[in-house]
Structure 1
């Protein structure tokens, strides 16, 4: 039978955070004799096994995060960690637990006391298909700092690049962290040149716009009207646009492309 305990005595006897704490995260390294698991708010879930208890605790954390997001007024700010927890509410128990553990580690890096704390991301997203994570930052320096920390292990940093698009500059790094791909992205708006306000001449090929979002929501637009959308990162969309521009403006490249397609 499922049993839920949320008393100060239970939390205190386990040597952890006392009840009444408004944080909701899994307490690492703690399990009771009957497979109980504990939340930092003091609630202890006993489902008969660690797996079942963890599933119940994952539901508890998701419900609390969703309630906090719904209760926030227009002038209140919901942390990116809580928002990501609320967005995971519809996923399976194993996915929610994995995401909760990763979000807890992200939170620890933002509030570290044993080393320099990292700047908090503006948003944390998860790809529902691949379960990869994306952290969005307000500045390039913030994204670079995370790439340096998460990519410190040999082979962890898969790629890192700067890119430019009309009206913005950006940085995109990919790291393998805790067995999961993590994209670290910053897109900073810049003043557009005056010529950008003029209508492009027919047949011209250059970037006239772009947009960013989560995985599968990034894209760019060419002056000729061609749109490249549905990419996981702005850099991937820009790469394809650059190939398009070369193919359309370089006769040799166009001839080669036509030969390959034939």
Structure 2
């Protein structure tokens, strides 16, 4: 049996992305090239590996069994080949990170410029989205997530601020018209600018003070996708449309300019900062190892 390693990688990319087009986007090749590679692999093995429809691609039972063994094996092959990177004066290659939009905005700007300057031969690709994804299946080397969303078999390294808060604010003109709430329950009488996750759930606004915790199901006319459209709620709040609830660091420039006025600050919810996480295998690709060391050293 003469199976090409590239064809195996193509199969894993397509199966992980659940489609040829997305697999091509994540692997940096064309959908037609991936299709041809998978076809060659199936012919060589003499078994169908993928169910293909106009709407989806999913592994057959044989494909699932092959994937279970291939993913760790290919990871080890990649890590073994990457060992030679350690003999270079400077590591080279591509590092792909999957991060929430909040991290792309609030965490990475203070890290990325210095990292790129320290490692000029490394290309960094950042995929920002707020859906919970398997970073390996998505073709990424590592991700950034908050503690409650970490997978158990991952190594986690603190990255960015270790303590954050959700802030509440509105335009001074809005507060002049509608009053300044002194307790979170008073928000039930205000126009609140809400967010909805991609899953469809709409989280309540959370508050805490002196050991007391509150979850308020606010109401309001505007609802946006959490992360992707958060700036719309900020702009609407600045224009006087209502009250916004968002990361303190996201709103701070508008506090400093006076465009937004913080409210209920003693009740702002504190929570631990995010983590860089990656598979706990023994050998890391050189670009990822360089990034982990850079983050750990606080450079």
How high is the TM-score relative to the length of structure 2? 0.23
Structure 1 length-normalised TM: 0.25
